[in-house]
Every structure is written in structure tokens, then in C-alpha cells.
Structure 1
Amino acid sequence: MKYFFIFVNILLSGCAMQNKLIPIQDSTLAIKKRTPQTPAVTLPPPTPETQNNIWQRIFDHYQLQDINHPRITQEIQRYLKNPKFLEIIQKRAKPYLYLIAEATEKQGLPGELALLPIVESGFQPNAYSSGKAAGLWQFIPSTGRMFGLKQNWWYDGRRDVYTSTQAATRYLKKLNKEFDGDWLLTLASYNAGKGNVRKAIKKNKKKHRSTSYWSLPLPQETRSYVPRLLALARILDNAEHYNLPQPVVENKPHLGLVNIKSQLDLKKAAEIAQIPLKELLQLNAGLNRWCTPPDGPHHLLLPIAKTSLFKKNLAELPLDEWVTWQRHKITSGENLGVIALKYRTSVKAIREVNRLSSTLIRTGKFLLIPTGSTGKYNTFVATVNAFTNENTVKKTVVYTVKENDNLWLIAQKFTTHSSKIARLNHLKLNSYLQPGQKLRIPQKKTTTFPQQSSISKALQKIYYTIRRGDSLSHISKKFNVSIGNLRKWNKIGRYIQPGQKLKLLINITQPSG
């Protein structure tokens, strides 16, 4: 499984901390027969510290701290040079730690694996990688579906903190069983895929070499992945030794999962929970739209202190007020008048909500249909506008013509087309320009997203390295973006080369291709 290189993206430059490292002996595990990395352990009874601090509870379940290797030492040194990163991820982890610790303990996983979202996503539920992996646990689409994580227009279970955590812990347990209890090979296969790890083992066996994780010919990403997790685990458990603040989070649930029986408008959900809509969306990052999915899952993660209030208010809310719209698939022979009549609304309302410039519609496409009173409709339109549509603003600048200027030269300077400048200024393409003349120059549209978008970070910037056999057409289909945008974002022509890096802006709320 491709993991999200949040570590690289977020590392902040600064003075290196002068810390003494815990001594780590070089250990070359040159064994011919693969054996479990750690034997079954009996977990210690809870201590007062464990009962009060969720971090200490995780540390008490460690099983891999007797493993030493120079690559772990190297990763420890990298982290210690960037203490700001450790501070940031501890803050991000706070709401989710209890939920994750419960899940890892339920599956009997080592405590270190509760820290895996740090390496995978930096504890960011909206994280998205160039390998199309998403969420805290960075599931790729196929593996996510294999473990029951729905991915559709409404919802992406890979970004649902609760369901993805349950799926990830089951997946890790399954992998560990397949690799005979070896947790290092388990982690390597979670990152690179079990098929690639098995190939590496087979290759070493043919050469009569060790089949331990440290000896396998794995991708560089995977060679760093496991020691990075072990380094993090060691640093956090020995924070005082490294002159870092001791992580403390109260050992109690911070979030509660509330089951709801039907679709619910998220704005309404935030109102009855008495929390900001932005907070609700952050906690429920798997939701792609402004409403929970019609076919489920019917649940929401809420601050634990708000769950009772939410349940009480939801029970008092009439069912016909749970949603104020429906999604309609256009069938052959339908027109807006027929659809409006069916839902007891107006053609004008349907056109406004769906931003239709005409009454022409196409079979197979979907329409959002507002229902309810005028007041509800107005609220619904405002919500749709806030959730689904970016606001584009056309900008112009005023340019003073210089000697020897012509429309083509000016267009090149501003990365636009001479025809656009001519049209905007009511000129002909061959018009003579006089020095000192003022021209309005069209600028690229700037896009602004409202704070309360369906996903606060729906557009994710990623970088993709071109591989042999790739084409712009293939890449555009893979990431559901247009060839025109690929060329515009990267200022390239029609030709690309292996090894070249492309910048992409991915809408993570769109179903994966």
C-alpha cells in the first residue's frame, strides 16, 4: 500500500537539536528460516499512568522495541532534527488516539501500529497520495473495497476515520497471519503489497540469502517505512530522554459514533449537535456531499460531549425535515417540466440549484431536486452553493503599452492570448499600439472555496512521477482530470518523459477511477 509522504511535506527547517540517542546495536538478522519477529506476549496490567494517559496505554502495548538496526537510528536522527513535526502530529492525533488504540487492542496488534497513521498520513483524514491512496490509513481503492470501504459519489470510507480504522486493523491482522507472525514483513506488505514482499522473499531464497525484512530487496520507500515507524515509537516513548515534551492525552473517548436511521442534512446535523459545520465535516471526512448517503453508512462521529444532545434533538426532529432535497437520475423522455411536476417543485428551482444555463438535459445524468417550503428551499440553495461549487473570479490588470509592443508580445508576457486582449479592448489583432496606451489584460480565473465546503480540503495537490508507457491521456483518466488542466498546471506541451514530475490538483470527493 502506497503511503502518504506527509513526513517529507511537513518537515520544517531549523536548527538540529543536540540530543544523545539511546544506544542501538547493529543487528543483522541473517536467518535462513523466517520466524515470528516477536513471540506472543502477555500484556501488562494497567497502571495508574496507563489509566490516565492514552499515549502511555499505547506504549504499554509495544511489542517491537527490542528490534535494533542502523536504519532505525538514522530515522530517529531525522525526526529529532524536526521537533516541530512531532509537536504537530501529536495535536492532530489527539481526537483519534482513543478510537485507534481500542481497535488495535481488539485485534491484538502491537501498540506501535496505533502510530501507523503518523507515517501514512500525518494523522490527516483527507490525505491523498499520487498512488490514489486516501485517508488516515492510506487505503488504495481496490484494497479499501476488499475490506468493505464503500467509495461512491456520496461517500469514501477510506476517509471515514471510524470505518477505515476498523478495516486497517483487520487488514494488518490478516497480513500478519499470512506472514507467520512476522510484524516487520506485515508492515512491509501493508506498504508495498504482499505480492511484492513475497517476490522479494522468493528472490532471496533462490540466492540462499536471509529472508528477514532487513535483508529483502524492497523499494526504497518500503525500506524506510518500517524503521520510520519504529523510530517514532521509540522517540515518543522516550520523549524526556530526547528533551522533548512528554505526550499526554486523557485516556477516555474524545469522539462518539452516533447511528442515525436515514439520510440527514449535515447543516441540520451541525445545528442540532450545536457544533460548527466545519468541525462536523472535519470529523466526518468520508462524506463527499452535504448530506449523509441514502444507502448508508448511517453514522456520524461527534465530540463525545455532544452525542447525548444530538440524539435528543434528532429524536425530536420530524423525519421530513432531515433532508430538503433528492437526487434524481434523468430517464429517457423526461424534461424539466415533468421532473418538476413529479417532485412538486418548479423548473426555475431545479435550474438554479443545478446551475443549468438552459432547459436541455441529458438521459443518465443526475439532478438535485429541492423540496419543502420556500424557506427550506432558500437554505438548501445556499448550502448547495457553499458545498459544491467553487466561486471563480475573473481578474483584469491594466497595462501601459511600451515602445515596440504588439498584442502578441503582451499576451506572451501575461500568459494569455492576443485575441482575448483584443476582444477585451475592442481592438483588431493587427491594431497599431501607441506607447502610453492603456490596455486591460485578462488574467487567469482565481478560484476561491468557501470555508464550509463539503470537504474543507476537497482539492489536494499531489505530484506524480511519469513512468515508461505513460501518456497525458492515461494520466488524465487515472486521476479524473482533463488533459488541458494537466498541461496548464505544469506549463507543458503534448510530450512528456519518464521521470518527469507533474503537479496535479485532485478532487478527492470524486469516486476513484
Structure 2
Amino acid sequence: MNAHSGNEADLWSRIRRGFQMPELRTDLAQAQLSWYLARPEYVQRMTERSKLYLYHIVEALEARNMPTELALLPFIESAYNPQALSVAQAAGMWQFIPGTGRSYNLKQNMFLDERRDVLASTNAALDYLTKLHEMFGDWRLALAAYNWGEGNVLRAIARNRKAGRPTDYLSLKIPKETRHYVPKLQAVKDIIAQPEKYGLTLPSIPDHPYFVTVTTTRDIDVAIAAQLAGLSVDAFRALNPSFSKPVILGATQPQILLPFENAQMFEQGLKTYQGLLSSWTTYTVTKRERTAVLATKIGVDPATLVAVNKIPAGMRLKPGSTVLIPKAEDDEDISAHIAQNAVFALEPDVPDTRKMLIRVRRHETIAAFAKRYRVSVAQVQAWNHTKRTKLAPGQMVMLHVPISKKSTIVKAKLRARPLPAANKLTARTVKLKAQTPAIKHKAKIKPIKAPKTKANSSLPARKIASN
């Protein structure tokens, strides 16, 4: 492994100074330490990978006065791989399952998965951990709940209390994975605390920010963004793993992370760049059909359609599904289409929705019906296989709604999240404007500030992690 720097100003030293959790000296913790020590190459890969993200996480922890041991948790969760995906569909460095991610405001749609976003997922994870610590008053129990779910831990505590047994972490009856979870963190902590004791060395990580943010309001291809920043696509995606498609939507006001020098290069490149920033647009399927048939109809290579949209073999697309396709020269940006239709998120069909039949009110138009349930007219038309704009009194209309909101739908009292108006799609830190005679752009670099928010303890949260 690389030589460990003796520089006491590096980030590892700062992490050591922030340790707050009590030591866990058990046979299982020693066994986990032995496991890591037998795999020095694995330890090296993890620590090298963490160099991109660790400073930001330590800053965020210190801003909340939280133990810096928690900066080591992604080693356990994902080996510091923001692209990690478990069999339970937990994603990102912090391994959020879809439901918990939504509870902590991590956007998940066909273009973006903030469970993989370095800034958003870290903020959500620290919110969740803060809530768990406030709930249990003990970091070991909080970590067990992060892995197993707070409901399970509460029930385990209740069982012990009823039986007259202690209710601390070591006394609870918990699954094997959770029983190994805190000892794993202790093992990594031991390695970081004294690597030389175990014949290991850590890569030097300077105690200063690795990246800054840039925000765009125009669609831009990932490949072009990487090119303008002087990075390979892989290096660009390592800092920006939340972008699920080859295009980044300006309408979402995305925060693009770049090393400071590359952010300056990106700024200069935008000023002189000519031509289209994005080569992709979207197409909404109007009827159920196979991908090969659809590709022929819209003049797209079938292999490209399947690969870019990750369509399973043999799957037929449903009416209303949105797919990404190559853009013709005269096509508008996707963000322009979104703004024009005041629809913020283009999302594919998701499994946690249910079809409900809703009775139309007297003199209610399809536009009024769509407004009442906070969906678009196009969605209502697609779900009901119609292009009509008028509805008959008493007519039953199909609506796709989250399962969790079924009861309120039945009572015709659905309160879905409203869609933002087109005029709210404004820039925050970078403005990309077309100018004549050539297309020129301006960019502003923004440093990262550690979040200071706390968790909303009323949010339901449950997490399943795998290693």
C-alpha cells in the first residue's frame, strides 16, 4: 500500500481527533479486524476511493457536532462506492432503499437518483442518524437501527425489557448482519487510528476540499460536461454518480461537482463552446408496444433505445412511459419541454403505485380533474387511452397513485405534491445563455458549505443495508 504520510495536518488526523464513540472490545470486533487485515488490497481500494468524498463528510459531521467515526460508515455500507447497489435495492455510499430515500427527500426519477448524490445522500444520512441517536440515546443502538430499522430495534428492546433483561446493544437478539455491523465499524476505526500497528499505510488525504459545485440551467450531455472540465467520463461520474442518463437536465438545477481546477476549466470552456450542449430528447409512448416497433416508428436504433433506457429484454412499453432518444437538430431541450408543460419530473412507471377509478364531478373538464389530483393532462390522457379534453358527469377516470395514498384517494381527498410552475425553474449559480454570433456560456463556481439541518423525527424511515 502507499506510504502513510506523517503529516498531522492531513484528513486522517482530523478524523482521529473527532472520535467520540466508546470502544467495542469483543471477540466479534477482533474477528472483523482480522478479516480486514487479511485483505490489505481491499482496504487500499476503499481508502483510495474515499479520497474524493471524505473531506465533505467530515465537514458535515463537525458542523453537527457528530462523531467522526460516522465518516467511516460508508466503508462498511458500500466500500465508499457511490454506484453500489444491494440486492435489497439500497443504493449509493450510504445505501438508502427507495422508500427511505423518498422519506428523506432524495429525488428518484429516470434522470436522477439522489441516493447516489454525494451531497444530498450525505445530508440525508446524517439527518437519519441524528434522528436515530435522538430516539435511542446511544450510538450503537442508532447504528443497529440504521442497518436493521428502528422499528425492529424498538421491538427487540421491548422484548428484553418484558423479559427483565438488559436493553443495551450487546444484550439484544438481532440478526447476524446487524450483529456484525457495529464490530465492522470498530475494526475500521482501529485501522484508521493506528494503521502502522497493523502493518498498513493509508493514502495521504489533504485537509482541504476536493470539489466545488457548478449549477446549470441548460441541458448538457455528460460527455460534453466531462470534456469541458478536462475529465474522463469515468472521473466525471465518480463525482456525479446521481445522473442516471447520458444527459443532465437543466430544469432540475443540478449541482455538478468538479475539482476546483477543473471547475475553472469548465467555466472557460463554456464561454467559448459552440454548438449543441445536449444531443438527447424524450419521447412519450402513446400505446403499448415492443421496443423494436417503437424504434422503427420514431427512427431510432433499437439497440440504442434499449441500452440508454435500460429496457429489459422482451418488455413492452406502457402508454405514458417516457424514453430517452437521440435529438434531431431542430428539437428543443428536454428542460424547455418540461418548462413549457410545467411538469418537473419525467418518471417511468414505478411498482409502488396503484390504479384507482375516480368519479368525475359535474361540469369537470379533464384539465380541472388533472389539477385537482396534481397530475398533468397528458398523464390522465395516457392512463385512460384518450385524447379527449371533455369528461362526462359521473364518468370513471383511471388515476395512478402511490399505494400509501390509497385511502385518501378513495375519499377523493388526495393531496399529492404540487408541480412547480415553469417560472420557478430559475438558475442558482450558473447561467447558460445562447448569444450571437456564437453560442457562449457563463459559469460561476460555488464552494461547498456543510449543511446544518436536523432530521424530521416524524418521518417514517427504514433501511436495509448489505455489504
Q: TM-score range by the shorter chain?
A: 0.5 to 0.7
Aligned mates of 2:200, 2:304 — CA distance in 1: 52
Q: What pairs with 1:228-247 in structure 2 (closer than 5 Å)?
A: 228-247=184-203
Do structure 1's residue 107 and structure 2's residue 64 form an aligned pair?
A: yes
- After superposition, the C-alpha distances for 1:177-207 in whole angstroms (9 at most, x for unaligned) are 1112x11111110000000100110010011
Question: Are residues 232 and 361 of structure 1, via their aligned partners in 2, closer, same or farther at CA, if it must alter by over 3 Å?
Answer: closer
Give the stretch that moved more between structures: 168-177 or 219-228: 168-177
Aligned partner of residue 198 in structure 2, secondary structure: coil
Question: In 2, are the aligned partners of 1:263 and 1:298 still within 8 Å (CA)?
Answer: no
> For residue 21 of structure 2, what is the amino acid of its counterpart?
L
- C-alpha displacement at 1:246, in angstroms? 4.4
Q: What pairs with 1:131-280 in structure 2 (closer than 5 Å)?
A: 131-180=88-137, 182-280=138-236
Aligned mates of 2:178, 2:303 — CA distance in 1: 50
> For residue 73 of structure 1, what is the amino acid of its counterpart?
Q
Aligned mates of 1:93, 1:159 — CA distance in 2: 14
- C-alpha displacement at 1:105, in angstroms? 1.5
2:247 aligns with 291
Q: What pairs with 1:412-491 in structure 2 (closer than 5 Å)?
A: none
> For residue 155 of structure 1, what is the amino acid of its counterpart?
L
Question: Are residues 127 and 351 of structure 1, via their aligned partners in 2, closer, same or farther at CA, if it must alter by over 3 Å?
Answer: closer
Question: In 2, are the aligned partners of 1:121 and 1:138 still within 8 Å (CA)?
Answer: yes
Aligned mates of 1:348, 1:201 — CA distance in 2: 61
Aligned partner of residue 329 in structure 2, secondary structure: coil
- C-alpha displacement at 1:321, in angstroms? 2.5
Aligned mates of 2:25, 2:155 — CA distance in 1: 25
- C-alpha displacement at 1:238, in angstroms? 0.8
> For residue 90 of structure 1, what is the amino acid of its counterpart?
T
Q: Which of 255, 259, 280 is 1:325 aligned to?
A: 280
1:13 aligns with none
- C-alpha displacement at 1:164, in angstroms? 0.9
Question: In 2, are the aligned partners of 1:273 and 1:309 still within 8 Å (CA)?
Answer: yes
Question: In 1, are the aligned partners of 2:212 and 2:258 still within 8 Å (CA)?
Answer: yes
Question: Are residues 352 and 294 of structure 1, via their aligned partners in 2, closer, same or farther at CA, if it must alter by over 3 Å?
Answer: farther
Question: In 1, are the aligned partners of 2:57 and 2:122 still within 8 Å (CA)?
Answer: yes
Aligned partner of residue 228 in structure 1, secondary structure: helix
1:38 aligns with none
1:60 aligns with 17
- C-alpha displacement at 1:350, in angstroms? 8.4
Query: Larger C-alpha radius of gyration, 1 or 2?
Result: 1
Aligned mates of 1:179, 1:272 — CA distance in 2: 48
Q: Which of 113, 118, 127 is 2:84 aligned to?
A: 127
Aligned mates of 2:202, 2:222 — CA distance in 1: 37
- Listed as ranges, the gaps of 5+ residues in structure 1 are 1-47, 333-338, 340-345, 377-513
> For residue 93 of structure 1, what is the amino acid of its counterpart?
S
Aligned mates of 2:24, 2:189 — CA distance in 1: 12
Q: Which of 32, 40, 59 is 1:83 aligned to?
A: 40
2:320 aligns with 364
> For residue 10 of structure 2, what is the amino acid of its counterpart?
N
Q: What pairs with 1:308-347 in structure 2 (closer than 5 Å)?
A: 308-317=264-273, 321-331=276-286
Aligned mates of 2:167, 2:83 — CA distance in 1: 36
Aligned mates of 2:32, 2:43 — CA distance in 1: 13
Question: In 1, are the aligned partners of 2:89 and 2:98 still within 8 Å (CA)?
Answer: yes
Question: In 2, are the aligned partners of 1:137 and 1:168 still within 8 Å (CA)?
Answer: yes
Aligned mates of 2:302, 2:188 — CA distance in 1: 53
2:256 aligns with 300
Question: Are residues 143 and 315 of structure 1, via their aligned partners in 2, closer, same or farther at CA, if it must alter by over 3 Å?
Answer: farther
Question: Are residues 82 and 353 of structure 1, via their aligned partners in 2, closer, same or farther at CA, if it must alter by over 3 Å?
Answer: closer
Question: In 2, are the aligned partners of 1:121 and 1:127 still within 8 Å (CA)?
Answer: yes
- C-alpha displacement at 1:160, in angstroms? 1.5
Aligned partner of residue 328 in structure 1, secondary structure: strand
- C-alpha displacement at 1:116, in angstroms? 0.4
RMSD (Å), alpha carbons: 3.0
Q: Which of 82, 89, 97 is 2:54 aligned to?
A: 97
Aligned mates of 1:214, 1:348 — CA distance in 2: 62
Question: Are residues 224 and 347 of structure 1, via their aligned partners in 2, closer, same or farther at CA, if it must alter by over 3 Å?
Answer: closer
> For residue 262 of structure 1, what is the amino acid of its counterpart?
R
Identity %, equivalent residues: 35
Aligned partner of residue 63 in structure 1, secondary structure: coil
Aligned mates of 2:61, 2:284 — CA distance in 1: 42
Question: In 2, are the aligned partners of 1:262 and 1:298 still within 8 Å (CA)?
Answer: no
Give the stretch that moved more between structures: 261-270 or 208-217: 261-270
Aligned mates of 1:226, 1:92 — CA distance in 2: 22
Aligned partner of residue 158 in structure 1, secondary structure: coil
> For residue 328 of structure 1, what is the amino acid of its counterpart?
Y
- C-alpha displacement at 1:83, in angstroms? 2.1
Aligned mates of 2:190, 2:255 — CA distance in 1: 36
- After superposition, the C-alpha distances for 1:5-31 in whole angstroms (9 at most, x for unaligned) are xxxxxxxxxxxxxxxxxxxxxxxxxxx
Q: How many residues align?
A: 311
- C-alpha displacement at 1:354, in angstroms? 4.4
- Listed as ranges, the gaps of 5+ residues in structure 2 are 1-5, 288-293, 307-315, 334-467
Question: In 1, are the aligned partners of 2:217 and 2:253 still within 8 Å (CA)?
Answer: no
Aligned mates of 1:208, 1:288 — CA distance in 2: 50
> For residue 195 of structure 1, what is the amino acid of its counterpart?
G
Aligned mates of 2:317, 2:67 — CA distance in 1: 55
TM-score by length of 1: 0.56
- C-alpha displacement at 1:112, in angstroms? 0.6
Aligned mates of 2:317, 2:148 — CA distance in 1: 45
TM-score by length of 2: 0.61
> For residue 256 of structure 1, what is the amino acid of its counterpart?
V
Question: In 2, are the aligned partners of 1:350 and 1:369 still within 8 Å (CA)?
Answer: no
